[in-house]
Amino acid sequence: MKVAVIGGGPGGYVAAIKAAMLGAEVTLIEKKRVGGTCLNVGCIPTKSLLASSDVLEVVRDAKNYGINIDGTIEPDLPAIMKRKEKIVEQLVKGIEFLFDKKGVKLINGFGKLVDKNKIEVTKEDGSKEEIEADKIILATGSVPIVPPIFPHDGKKIITSDEALFLEEIPKSMSIVGGGVIGCEFGQFFSKMGTKVTIVEMAEQLLPFEDKDVAKQLERSFKRDKIKMLTGQKINKCEVQDNKVIAYLEGDKTLEADIMLVSVGRKPYLENLGLEDLGIEMEKGKVVVNKNMETNIKGIYAIGDIVDTPFLAHVASKEGLIAAENALGKDKAISYRAVPRCIYTGPEVAAVGMTEKEAEAKGMIYHVGKFEFRGLGKAQAIGHFQGFVKVLVDDQDVIIGAAIVGPHATDLLAELSLAVELQLTAERVGDIIHPHPTLSEGIMEALHDVHKACIHAV
């Protein structure tokens, strides 16, 4: 069985390795570097930058822990960027090493569908190569959305792609969009010393999360002196005298050295050949069935090009499923418990339904909540802002959860498992949680569902 994968991101490269492990002869086509957006200009590099800003904050705050540090403490952006690139390079090489060991053939070039079993690859030197395959998996990912009112030049008006390669710390930055990308970059540059203003059309940051979650993050941003303009819309934008001027509703203007546009991403399907093959599309995305297969038998699509959450871990899971189904299995994905993670300080993590969604569906639900400041471990490490919140239905089944606070993204795993397995608050809350840990906050929140929380007033 020959399997070809177009796109080497977290969905594509995982699909390729899985197919090879199942015995297929696999070829992966990637126009740039393996790892895709996630590894090269997304998840990993941004977390590397945030790790540097976290260290900077810890050092500046060392006196509160009884540690005296003499001398000037300043960020070195070129060194931070160099560290980030070293991490990315190591991980890229790691994937290529796995390809070599698992028997995946890597071809660098742009892949285009010729028919249901053939791909034309255009290489960087202009030469072409045809790849034949019994099954094809499309995993071409996404690119940043830049609305026409923002004259994107990659220098003064940038996207997250260019933000990862800035050579100097800007004195001021306006960020369009208060979602995950805008919040993470906003806090990083603020800690670097940049005067940051975030403009968000919705009435809160993180528009898809509950109000109390957003408010907790907004309080932290205020302490970091990040200005937030929520419920605001930019009507026009231009560069004047080396400054970016944004014109907001109500005759307001916003001036900054650099503008970062982070209003979302869109599927990258340009020149892929979908129309010629008659692959079904809907609202700019590829339509697939529960097996991740398109309407053309033997062609699968995964990740950001299908109508599922734009998340690396979702793409990876879909890659595994597509590969297994391409090799004769019949597997489907449950999207009941898709984790949502924001790596700000405090971190934000959520899974399952929000209160807004439960209310919109007219559901009867109950909430359990516990503040991190009530935990000994949180007080000991000096990070006690935030809370754990769980939602249960009228049968006590956990249907959603949110954590705002230290290590929230790591703590979420327990509640993701609970949501997926449809466990009850009583059952999970009865588990003995280790002490002293932050995970006790989960136990306390679960107890609070039944008003049985020991450490709550």
Q: How far apart are CA 238 and CA 425, in angstroms?
A: 52
Question: Is 409 assigned a ligand-binding role in the annotation?
Answer: no
Q: How far apart are CA 182 and CA 295, in angstroms?
A: 36
Residue 433 tokens, joined: 């949680």
Question: Is 142 assigned a ligand-binding role in the annotation?
Answer: yes
**Catalytic entry in 366, 435, 447, 455:** 435
Question: Is 264 assigned a ligand-binding role in the annotation?
Answer: yes
Q: How far apart are CA 206 and CA 216, in angstroms?
A: 11
Question: Is 441 assigned a ligand-binding role in the annotation?
Answer: no
Question: Is 177 assigned a ligand-binding role in the annotation?
Answer: yes
- Radius of gyration of the chain from its Cα atoms, rounded to whole angstroms: 23
Question: Is 48 assigned a ligand-binding role in the annotation?
Answer: no
List % helix, strand, coil for the chain (3-state, nearest 5). 35, 25, 40
Question: Is 174 assigned a ligand-binding role in the annotation?
Answer: no
Question: Is 298 assigned a ligand-binding role in the annotation?
Answer: no
Question: Is 38 assigned a ligand-binding role in the annotation?
Answer: no
Question: Is 184 assigned a ligand-binding role in the annotation?
Answer: yes
* CB-based burial label for 334 (10 Å; 0-12, 13-18, 19+): exposed
For residue 360, how far is the Cα from the chain centroid?
25
Q: How far apart are CA 455 and CA 372, in angstroms?
A: 11
* CB-based burial label for 253 (10 Å; 0-12, 13-18, 19+): exposed
The three state secondary structure string of 192-261 is HCCEEEEEECCCCCCCCCCHHHHHHHHHHHHHCCCEEEECCCEEEEEEECCEEEEEECCCEEEEECEEEE
Question: Is 179 assigned a ligand-binding role in the annotation?
Answer: yes
435: annotated active-site residue: yes
Question: Is 176 assigned a ligand-binding role in the annotation?
Answer: no
Question: Is 316 assigned a ligand-binding role in the annotation?
Answer: no
Q: How far apart are the first and last CA of the chain?
A: 63
Residue 358 tokens, joined: 């439960």
Per-residue CA distances from 422 to 79, 234, 396 (Å): 46, 43, 9
Encode 162-193: b = buried (16+ Cβ within 10 Å), e = exposed: bbbebeebbebbbbbbbbbbbbbbbbbbbbbe
Question: Is 193 assigned a ligand-binding role in the annotation?
Answer: no
Residue 65 tokens, joined: 């822990």
Are 238 and 151 contacting, i.e. CB atoms less than 8 angstroms apart?
A: yes
Q: Which residue in the block uniquely carries the two structure tokens 């090799």?
A: 327
Question: Is 180 assigned a ligand-binding role in the annotation?
Answer: yes
Question: Is 352 assigned a ligand-binding role in the annotation?
Answer: no
Annotated binding site for FAD: 47, 111, 140-142, 304
Binding residue numbers? 47, 111, 140-142, 177-184, 200, 264, 304
By annotation, the residues acting in catalysis are 435
Binding-site annotation, residues for NAD(+): 177-184, 200, 264
